[in-house]
């Protein structure tokens, strides 16, 4: 049953640590020579800036994600506030079309306060979207226009994916029985430990009073044992199992029925109409902020305050643009979120998400071009499927549709561990992944002023965003393309081979990404200081 939670977590933020050296909280900021961890040498970077008497200016970073806890002790002072918006008055004070967008905007909500919490997979949406157009039809591919061919190829991929991934009724029964067992055991443990929320450490201290209790403890230890991360709580584990089962149920239903229209019903917006953009609400938390809060902390949690952990950039305001529900995000929401962030002053945008299909890629491409025209840097995670994505099958991506052109303002990020190896879950590709960054056992903020270790390219991406924001703050004359080039050229190249994710083969990092290395803040600020001088 261990595999159940693993399959869920690897999709968003992988959970296993396979490092030779045991990671410690905050290892990602440390220096290889000084601390023996393959971090980004952040203290050395700030020391260099201090010695050169360089001061920074405030930079706005757009975080396109699930949401953020606006009351978090380590984040509330670094959150962006729309200077012309009065919060809570239900008016569009600044006339930008978005009422009460004080902290940012939620493209997954309605004006009356309802929020989209989950979406179907893009596989299911594409399969049903084009089913009547292509099912049981004789298709002459040679006669299709580029757009029609793109639709047909997407539909073929979607159909194969829907039918291949759908679980059997027997498997669903097994999952439901497993959940019932876990919830029963959890209820006993909470009673015996006298805690509604407990960790594996708490569980290990429990002294069962009977053989039945001993069996319950053993079962829960097995459930927890998928995580080497001792701060994971029972509530997170049970919630993860429930979410995984819901996603499996959707897969099974996707063969028989069109996907639910919750997103359209709640927002009132047609996802296929690229011309509407004023939908959603100002609730950037929406009780769905674990992932987005964690990402935000990596970028900008208050530094040197003795609380929780330190973010990377010290002159940053985080603008949350809620875009990512449980399940696959909608292309239109991504495009509108990019445009909103750009229009409201973001200089760097974090996109810790991805999927295998993008039926409306053109509207995202148009938003990427718009960001480029405004000198805004986009940074996206490569994904956690341990695949080579040189074929650009991870979306969004920097290649414009029907062209060989690559967006110049776009960085794609793989995840590395504390030994300078590629994380075993990370996607890679020496033609599309620009750099690797720490993404294993990353300690950061989560809702309710708590903290947690999480893994994934979702965590590696804000590492790069934090560095990009630091560079844009202290070297404001540099363009988005300059920043991208500096981050690539200053990457540190490990002198050891790493296991290629998903294989047993080994290679140097230059076979896995364009730069051949892992980001380093110290090397980056030194290069930025001398850039074009």
Domains and CATH numbers, the chain: 24-120+267-530 (3.40.50.200), 122-166 (no CATH), 169-246 (no CATH)
| Mean pLDDT score, 203-224 | 95
Alpha-carbon gap, residue 200 to 183, rounded angstroms: 16
Q: Report the pLDDT value the prediction gives residue 314, as an integer from 0 to 100.
A: 97
Measured from the Cβ of residue 141, the count of other Cβ atoms closer than 10 Å reads: 9
Confidence grade of residue 16 (pLDDT, cut at 50, 70, 90): very low
Q: Is the pLDDT of residue 15 over 50?
A: no
Confidence grade of residue 58 (pLDDT, cut at 50, 70, 90): very high
Q: Report the pLDDT value the prediction gives residue 139, as an integer from 0 to 100.
A: 95
Please give the distance of CA 197 from its chain centroid, rounded to a whole number: 26
Alpha-carbon gap, residue 171 to 186, rounded angstroms: 22
Q: Report the pLDDT value the prediction gives residue 12, as an integer from 0 to 100.
A: 38
Give me the residue label for tokens 């964690």.
Answer: 294
Alpha-carbon gap, residue 533 to 528, rounded angstroms: 9
- Which alpha helices (H) appear in 229-384, and where do they start and end? 234-254, 262-267, 290-300, 331-343, 361-373
Q: Specify which of 18-22, 159-163, 234-238 reaches the highest per-range mean pLDDT.
A: 159-163
Looking at 17-31, 89-103, 373-387, 428-442, which range is the least confident one?
A: 17-31
Q: Report the pLDDT value the prediction gives residue 227, as an integer from 0 to 100.
A: 54
Q: Report the pLDDT value the prediction gives residue 17, as an integer from 0 to 100.
A: 33
Phi, psi of 444 (to 5 degrees): -155, 180
Confidence grade of residue 392 (pLDDT, cut at 50, 70, 90): confident
When the pLDDT of each residue in the chain is averaged and rounded to a whole number, the result is 93
Please give the distance of CA 131 from its chain centroid, rounded to a whole number: 30
Alpha-carbon gap, residue 513 to 426, rounded angstroms: 11
Instruction: Output helix, strand, coil percentages for the chain, rounded to the nearest 5.
Output: 40, 15, 45
CB-facing half-sphere around the CA of 3: CA atoms within 13 A: 2
Contact 48, 525 (CB under 8 A): yes
Q: Is the pLDDT of residue 197 over 70?
A: yes
| Mean pLDDT score, 492-507 | 97
Q: Is the pLDDT of residue 528 over 60?
A: yes
- SS3 annotation, 263-289: HHHHHCCCCCCCCCCCCCECCCCCCCC
| Mean pLDDT score, 421-427 | 97
Alpha-carbon gap, residue 28 to 461, rounded angstroms: 13
3 state SS of 90:
coil
Contact 331, 338 (CB under 8 A): no
Residues 6+ apart with CB under 8 A from 122: 158, 328, 355, 356, 357, 358, 359
Q: Report the pLDDT value the prediction gives residue 182, as an integer from 0 to 100.
A: 96
**168-173 own/partner pairs: CB under 8 Å, 24+ apart:** 168/252, 169/252, 171/248, 172/245, 172/248, 172/249, 172/252
Residues 6+ apart with CB under 8 A from 202: 193, 195
Looking at 222-226, 328-332, 450-454, which range is the least confident one?
A: 222-226
Q: Which value, in Å, is the radius of gyration of the alpha carbons in the chain?
A: 23
Q: Report the pLDDT value the prediction gives residue 304, as an integer from 0 to 100.
A: 95
| Mean pLDDT score, 290-301 | 98
Q: Is the pLDDT of residue 234 over 80?
A: yes
- Which alpha helices (H) appear in 135-193, and where do they start and end? 146-165, 169-193
Confidence grade of residue 225 (pLDDT, cut at 50, 70, 90): confident
Over residues 355-382, the pLDDT tens digits come to 999 999 999 999 999 999 999 999 999 9
Q: Is the pLDDT of residue 3 over 60?
A: no
Q: Is the pLDDT of residue 18 over 90?
A: no
Q: Report the pLDDT value the prediction gives residue 10, as an integer from 0 to 100.
A: 35
Alpha-carbon gap, residue 10 to 356, rounded angstroms: 15
Q: Is the pLDDT of residue 204 over 60?
A: yes
Q: Is the pLDDT of residue 273 over 80?
A: yes
| Mean pLDDT score, 328-343 | 98
Residues 6+ apart with CB under 8 A from 221: 200, 203, 204
Alpha-carbon gap, residue 441 to 298, rounded angstroms: 12
139 against 224, higher pLDDT: 139
Contact 307, 73 (CB under 8 A): yes
* Cα dihedral: 145, 146, 151, 155 (round 10): 100
H or E element in which residue 379 lies = strand 377-381
Alpha-carbon gap, residue 371 to 367, rounded angstroms: 6
Alpha-carbon gap, residue 110 to 282, rounded angstroms: 9
Phi, psi of 410 (to 5 degrees): -130, 130
Q: Is the pLDDT of residue 458 over 90?
A: yes
Confidence grade of residue 332 (pLDDT, cut at 50, 70, 90): very high
> What is the pTM for the complete model shown?
0.93
Assigned token pair, 426 = 């990370």
The DSSP letter of residue 27 is G
Confidence grade of residue 472 (pLDDT, cut at 50, 70, 90): very high
């Amino acid at each position: 049953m261990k595999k159940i939670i693993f399959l869920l977590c690897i999709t968003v933020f992988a959970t296993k640590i396979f490092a030779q050296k045991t990671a410690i909280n905050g290892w990602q900021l440390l220096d290889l020579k000084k601390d023996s961890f393959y971090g980004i040498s952040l203290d050395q970077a700030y020391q260099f800036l201090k010695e050169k008497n360089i001061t920074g200016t405030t930079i706005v970073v757009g975080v396109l994600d699930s949401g953020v806890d606006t009351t978090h002790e380590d984040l509330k002072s670094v959150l962006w506030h729309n200077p012309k918006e009065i919060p809570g008055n239900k008016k569009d004070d600044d006339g930008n079309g978005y009422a009460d967008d004080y902290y940012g905007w939620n493209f997954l909500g309605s004006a009356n306060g309802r929020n989209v919490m989950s979406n179907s997979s893009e596989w299911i949406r594409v399969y049903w979207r084009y089913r009547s157009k292509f099912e049981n039809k004789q298709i002459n591919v040679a006669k299709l226009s580029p757009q029609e061919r793109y639709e047909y190829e997407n539909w073929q991929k979607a159909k194969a994916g829907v039918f291949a991934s759908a679980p059997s009724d027997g498997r669903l029964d097994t999952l439901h029985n497993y959940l019932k067992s876990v919830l029963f055991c959890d209820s006993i443990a909470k009673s015996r430990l006298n805690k509604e929320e407990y960790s594996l450490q708490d569980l290990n201290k429990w002294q069962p009073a009977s053989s039945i209790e001993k069996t319950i403890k053993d079962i829960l230890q097995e459930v927890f044992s998928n995580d080497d991360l001792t701060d994971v709580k029972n509530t997170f584990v049970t919630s993860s199992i429930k979410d995984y089962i819901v996603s499996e149920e959707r897969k099974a239903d996707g063969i028989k029925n069109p996907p639910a229209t919750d997103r359209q019903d709640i927002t009132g917006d047609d996802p296929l109409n690229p011309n509407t953009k004023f939908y959603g609400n100002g609730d950037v938390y929406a009780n769905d902020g674990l992932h987005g809060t964690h990402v935000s902390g990596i970028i900008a949690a208050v530094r040197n305050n003795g609380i929780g952990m330190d973010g990377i950039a010290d002159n940053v305001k985080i603008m949350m643009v809620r875009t990512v529900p449980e399940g696959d995000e909608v292309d239109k929401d991504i495009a509108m979120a990019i445009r909103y962030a750009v229009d409201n002053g973001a200089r760097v945008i974090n996109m810790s998400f991805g999927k295998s299909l993008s039926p409306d890629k053109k509207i995202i491409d148009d938003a990427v071009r718009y960001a480029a025209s405004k000198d805004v840097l986009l940074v996206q995670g490569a994904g956690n499927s341990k695949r080579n994505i040189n074929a650009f099958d991870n979306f969004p991506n920097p290649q414009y549709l029907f062209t060989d052109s690559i967006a110049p303002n776009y960085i794609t990020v793989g995840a590395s561990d504390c030994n300078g190896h590629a994380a075993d879950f990370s996607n890679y590709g020496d033609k599309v992944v620009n750099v690797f960054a720490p993404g294993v056992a990353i300690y950061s903020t989560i809702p309710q002023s708590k903290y947690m270790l999480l893994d994934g390219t979702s965590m590696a991406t804000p590492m790069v965003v934090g560095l990009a924001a630091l560079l844009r703050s202290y070297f404001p004359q540099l363009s988005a393309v300059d920043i991208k080039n500096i981050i690539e050229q200053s990457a540190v190249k490990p002198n050891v081979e790493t296991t290629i994710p998903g294989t047993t083969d080994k290679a140097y990092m230059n076979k896995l990404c364009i730069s051949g290395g892992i980001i380093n803040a110290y090397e980056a600020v030194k290069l930025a200081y001398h850039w074009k001088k």
